[in-house]
Structure 1
Amino acid sequence: MAAIPMTDPSPAPLVSLTWTDHITGTRGYLVVDRLVRGVSSGGLRMREGCTLAEVTGLARGMSMKEALHFDADARYIPLGGAKGGIDCDPRAPEAYGVLVRFLRAVRPYVEHVWTTGEDLGLSQDLVDRAAAEAGLVSTIQAVYPLLHDEAVARRRLADAFALTVDGIGLDELVGGCGVAEAALVALDRAGTDHRDARVSLQGLGTMGGATARFLSRAGLTVVAVADVKGTIANPAGLDVEALLAARDAYGTVDRGVLREADQELPADAWLAADADVLVPAAVSYAVDASNQASIRARWVVEAANMPVLPEAEALLTARGITVLPDVVVNSGTNAWWWWTLFGDVGADAEEAFGHTRRSMRALVGRVLERAEADGSTPREAAHALAAERLPVMAERFGWYR
């Protein structure tokens, strides 16, 4: 499936670097795809097998997410796209030391051009602790010069991060709220009653767990959830809140909380679940040309970054299965950070959820309408919308490369 190219005077990333840890030999990567007003945005992930190509693709995706959320009338100033990645198992004993040394090595970029935060394998608390040990003021300090009142903005974001809703931090929940809203828009456009819809998810970590909660509370039935130990399934519906309460820091569920009717199935069983909505919310490249044949869902909603390979998406599309792309679906987390920091929303959970729902509903609606009008896939439609917005951003803010 050919993606519609983004309008860009230089398609190559601005910065692409590989770091090698002098102690363990572990490799880390930083890619700055583009700058807007001299700053870029994108998380830092840690997983065994992470590659420069993966980080490059993620950085380009961040450029698109920023462009898709550009609102000329908002306080939120769009940034460029970037991403960091470390090829290390986050559970390994040496992982934290590697993280600190990576951040120490790329410290000048974090200080001046790269705002970052948690991503796959890392929590925000862990990233913040490692950043402080590496001598950084904050992982988002590069954006501070763009703020009208830095002290007020930083306090507002800190207050927002301190909020919890039913035991889960607001920073975890907003991303899942956005993913859930994307799925609900698709269901609503198809005329599907939420109470008749069934969901299967891969991953019950930060994004997957929050998505499961919001979809369950919207009336959908969560019938399968996969973590590193395998798939937990129940055709009558899982107790989502009990599973969330029994997770460890990596999103692995304590099987001791399972009910008698709950089933333990192989790791890939979530793909073939009898569900209307499939949510890959864990790792990249989870759905390939081979295992896509198992999918029976009507919609695949990409909560993770790059979970569906292009050849798999082409085959799914040919079978009438719609893939809602990651650059749209999971963009709410990144946008919430900046909505809060720049003052479009305050440190208030209901305000954050309301703004996220309205923004995601409007964005997903535009993407699906564009896809229908162009006879394209939602991903191609998202690329087209981003390509139209980037020149507008460049005209307003200029290109800083």
Structure 2
Amino acid sequence: MTVPEPATSRPATAPSTTSRPTLTADVPDIAPDSARPTHDGPLATAQSQLAGAIRRLGYDEGMHAMLATPRREINVAIPLRRDDGSTALFHGFRVQHNVSRGPGKGGLRYHPSVDVDEVRALAMWMTWKCAVVELPYGGAKGGVAIDPRRYSQAELERVTRRYTSEIMPMIGPERDIMAPDIGTDAQTMAWVMDTYSVNQGYTIPGVVTGKPLEVGGSLGRATATSRGVVHSTRAALHEAGLDLPDVRVAVQGFGKVGSHAADMYADAGARVEAVSDQYGGLHRSGGLDMQRVLDHVRTTGSVVGFPGADPIDNTDLLTLDVDVLVPAAVEGVLTADNALDVAARWVVEGANGPTTAEADAILAERGVVVVPDILANAGGVVVSYFEWVQAQQAYWWTEAEIEQRLAERMLHAYAAVAEVARREAVSLRDAALLLSVQRVAVAHRTRGLYP
């Protein structure tokens, strides 16, 4: 049994002499030592997903070790002179998981829980995400263990510039391109770009994406991840003969991804019945008035306290009686403890790694359709690629052009994954992993192993 490129895919760039791997159930599910996570968490989930794909594709231990192990990683100390004159020290990381298909691509996260294993997992997921939407990138990720809410804008600028200077040998428009993530934004990317450019002696907008329009950013980038989530949801619903006006939606996480996605769902006619952020949530049967919710958040900084809706916590939101659940906050929120209670028919992963391997198996057994993160939230990296292309050409596209190209790319990727899922009788996640892992492995084998 083989996993050929789906009929909807563009022609492969690898030579025709490259053989396709066969699927087998006989390869033992044993990860090489270098692939074994040291504790439970995002890395354990990522490694478990990879091990399953390796087993089905029939790759040997050497290929497994290569795909499981980051190509490069750096751990840096970041001293900060605080506004009051005192000194604080933070730890930062940058991981390039795989660069067989092109330069590394991945966000920069500022959060107090950041550690190297989390960054390794996120970088691996970026490898598969770029491959599943057929971008000429490998996967990378960065992070600093800092709570940005506790520091001034000037302090965050100094942290960003010092972090950039420490990892500068690893990054560049042909090496590794950063983008915003949790705790960072367009301004953060402008600081990274400026620090890198000043050290190189000329302006290099392609070193980051997700930067302000004034310094080479792209129209449509701020909402791209959310649009990709909505496109993926619509594609999944169409397979069941439904559309967005037919469903009720709950969105966990009301940040850069969740807030825009909730607004887009409502605009498309869906009834968004629940939303939440880190402080709490709202629930209203029949749907929330999203414009009023957004106005409330702009005024107060949280969805909490919105009049005309019942309060709900993040845990209870995950098991609400809705049709579509969108976990768009952080990883690991759907677990073996709550997967049996999920009432939604569709789970569309707006966040990276929100579903543990155990929960994924439970949801699949119950017939819940999970649109995986490496497909559902790939809209951000797709438009990041568009921004990078525009920077390389110094020619800028209209927002309508970007939206059209994003929709085409997302729907094409969904169709390719769905075709593999039907052919191989596997879940959408397994199909996305089979397709993306195979594409990375073919690129690696086509390039060969440097002595």
Which residue, out of 196, 199, 215, partners 2:249? 199
Question: Is 2:375 the counterpart of 1:328?
Answer: yes
In structure 2, the CA distance between the partners of 1:259 and 1:42, relative to structure 1 (3 Å rule), is same
Aligned to 1:337: 384
**Unaligned 5+ runs, structure 2:** 1-48, 80-86
Query: Which residue of structure 2 lines up, in the alignment, with residue 286 of structure 1?
Result: 333
Equivalent residue, structure 2, for 1:69: 133
Aligned partner (choices 230, 233, 236) of residue 283 of structure 2: 233
Structure 1 segments unaligned to the other structure (5+ residues): 71-76, 144-153, 164-169
Give me the whole-angstrom Cα distance separating, in 1, the residues matched to 2:438 and 2:378. Answer: 18
Query: Could you give the per-residue CA deviations for residues 44-91 of structure 1, whole angstroms, max 9, x where no partner exists?
Result: 111121121111111111111222222xxxxxx602111101122121
CA distance in 1, matches of 2:446, 2:389: 18
Residue 76 of structure 2 aligns with an amino acid whose one-letter code is: W
Q: CA RMSD in A?
A: 3.1
Give 2:119's aligned residue.
Answer: 55
Instruction: Provide the C-alpha distance between the structure 2 equivalents of 1:325 and 1:107, rounded to a whole number of angstroms.
Output: 32
Point out the structure with max Rg over C-alpha: 2
Residue 362 of structure 1: aligned partner? 412
Classify the secondary structure of the residue corresponding to 1:385: helix
CA contact (8 A) 1:204 1:252 kept: no
C-alpha deviation, 1:326, in angstroms: 0.8
> Aligned AA for 1:278?
L
- 4+ long deviations beyond 6 Å: 154-157, 395-401
Residues 160 and 348, structure 1, Cα contact 8 Å, conserved in 2: no
Could you say which residue in structure 2 is the equivalent of 1:113? 175
1:308 counterpart letter in structure 2: T
Equivalent residues of 1:36, 1:398 under 8 A apart: no
Give the corresponding residue for 1:99.
Answer: 160
Contact 1:231/1:265, CA 8 A, preserved across alignment: yes
Shift of 1:36: 4.4
TM-score after normalising by structure 1: 0.84
Q: Deviations over 1:286-341 (max 9, x none)?
A: 22221323311011111111111111111111222121111111111111121243
How far apart are residue 246 of structure 1 and its match? 3.7
Q: Which residue of 2 aligns with 1:87?
A: 145
Secondary structure of 1:211 counterpart: helix
Q: Which amino acid aligns with 1:101?
A: R
1:302 and 2:349 aligned: yes
Aligned to 1:373, which of 409, 414, 423? 423
Distance of aligned partners of 1:265 and 1:196 in 2 relative to their CA distance in 1, 3 Å threshold? same
Over the matched positions of the two proteins, sequence identity in percent amounts to: 28
Alignment of 1:31-50 (within 5 A): 31-36=95-100, 39-50=103-114
**Counterpart position of 1:348:** 398
Distance of 2:329 and 2:112 partners within structure 1: 14
Q: Deviations over 1:209-252 (max 9, x none)?
A: 22112222222110000101201111111111222344359x94
SS of 2:221's partner is: helix
Q: Give 1:385's aligned amino acid.
A: L
How far 1:188 sits from its partner (Å)?
A: 0.7
State the distance in 2 between where 1:368 and 1:37 align: 23
Is 2:184 aligned against 1:127? Answer: no
